[in-house]
Structure 1
């Protein structure tokens, strides 16, 4: 196994690793949604380099085998979007010695839910998701690009501009909302078509399928023990499933929210995150290569 992992890591470093969905997913036992964002084709005939940037969910439950895979990948930096309350509830990341962890907590009032991250921690304990109806999932993506996470995403791009930080992982709890929006912004900045951005976002449904369905059943079971009417139970079940099963309009809301406030997603990168043309060109030079 160690030889196979080492060979895969070398292929990634050389940009030779295949870029299909199955091969993009690293396949950690303790985090199924850990995957390379490389291999995507850009609109100008280039390809995003593999082996440099990984998107993920939280990392507290990595196994020894998982840790060996990350060491073989050469991960140097982990950017963590979780809040202190989430870390207390879910646990600290399990990282190898020498890996730098940068904490950029994204929290605040999302979709009119004060301190939404803390409220979600409570919802996961109780199974009561009525504060997070299906519309929450589009609104959170809009909020992330209209002021909620400007500081954190701007800092992420500063970190990405420094090649000494690679290979790099960024993550939130499930690798879906905060991480999904960050990935959409990065891939768009690299000139990847939005259709591909959307496909990458929805890939989380496949990587997380084995854990999502049991989790939904577990949460519905917790909610069943609470005092709710039949109508409330139906509303709650709908909210749980909407939160855990992603829809394309969720990530589209990030693009649409930026367009409403700034005029375009490119303008958001420039005005909201401070990415001028030179910074974006440098990022493309660093993270993309001509197609063979």
Structure 2
């Protein structure tokens, strides 16, 4: 089954670097423009941005966001994450919170910081190997159809772009939204996976690891070697994570068009509108 069309993949580090938005207090911030979409049209530069959380924006970073014209920030995190790492108020920018993880999903490890929560760590064994934590999370997010609909409706609004969406690390929740938007635009699955894996180049994992470990200093219930495996699994972008979501979506709905229309509830006209808005 084909998702989009086969196009030129990211073949060099320098090509990937062109996507990066230089920021002092934020890592993994990049432009989704330039990819080949439906009918050979390119995703417009300067319209879609993905990033990690924005709580440590510097004055220069804020100037940068204003310079690229960000109008809407879509925060995919839960309330406790926002309370711990709030995004500063930005003038002329609408910041909307649309949590992506189902509320009834039970304790989940959303990102490395959650490993400091004893209650969440108590559930690690039920998932088996550490990488299954993220497989489970990605599969669960596919079921958040109301949240996904709200995100697409927000993006479709007039004057919503340039549009920046993010979670904590800008990896799984952000990666899924990037994948769904790009698939709706006709970008190939191969290219989407390449974009997803760029997180491994640009996420400041050392900073995240340091923050995470600082919350676990008083905890000694997880052996160090096991915690290292878990931290590595949680902080990396791995093909099997995104594929877990996409494979489940295709198993249930056959193709991206059916998922967008039947699960998320977008009309064919809205999909065309999105393509006309974001493709050159």
Distance 2:110 2:241 in 1: 21
SS at 1:51 equivalent: coil
Q: Residues 56 and 172 of structure 1 are in contact (CA less than 8 Å); yes or no, is this contact kept in structure 2?
A: yes
> Are 1:183 and 2:178 an aligned pair?
yes
Give the deviation of 1:180 after TM superposition: 0.6
Cα separation, partners in 2 of 1:212 and 1:258, compared to 1, 3 Å: same
Q: Which residue is 1:96 aligned to?
A: 90
Q: Which residue is 1:174 aligned to?
A: 169
Distance 2:113 2:213 in 1: 16
Distance 2:210 2:238 in 1: 19
User: TM-score with structure 2 length normalisation?
Assistant: 0.84
Give the deviation of 1:136 after TM superposition: 1.3
Cα separation, partners in 2 of 1:222 and 1:159, compared to 1, 3 Å: closer
Distance 2:197 2:121 in 1: 22
**Structure 1 range deviating more: 44-53 or 256-265:** 256-265
Structure number with higher helix proportion = 1
Please list the CA deviations of residues 191-222 of structure 1 after superposition, one character each: whole Å capped at 9, or x if unmatched: 000000001101111111xx214543665687
Cα separation, partners in 2 of 1:157 and 1:109, compared to 1, 3 Å: closer
Cα RMSD (Å): 2.5
Q: Residues 129 and 240 of structure 1 are in contact (CA less than 8 Å); yes or no, is this contact kept in structure 2?
A: no
Cα separation, partners in 2 of 1:278 and 1:166, compared to 1, 3 Å: same
Give the deviation of 1:272 after TM superposition: 1.1
Q: Give the counterpart of 1:227 among 207, 220, 233.
A: 220
Cα separation, partners in 2 of 1:195 and 1:62, compared to 1, 3 Å: same
Give the deviation of 1:95 after TM superposition: 3.5
Distance 2:114 2:37 in 1: 41
User: TM-score with structure 1 length normalisation?
Assistant: 0.81
SS at 2:147 equivalent: helix
Distance 1:286 1:219 in 2: 39
Structure 1, unmatched stretches of 5+, are 1-18
Q: Which residue is 1:139 aligned to?
A: 136
Give the deviation of 1:42 after TM superposition: 2.0
Q: Which residue is 1:243 aligned to?
A: 234
Structure ranking higher on relative contact order (CA contacts 8 Å, 6+ apart): 2
Q: Which residue is 2:108 aligned to?
A: 116
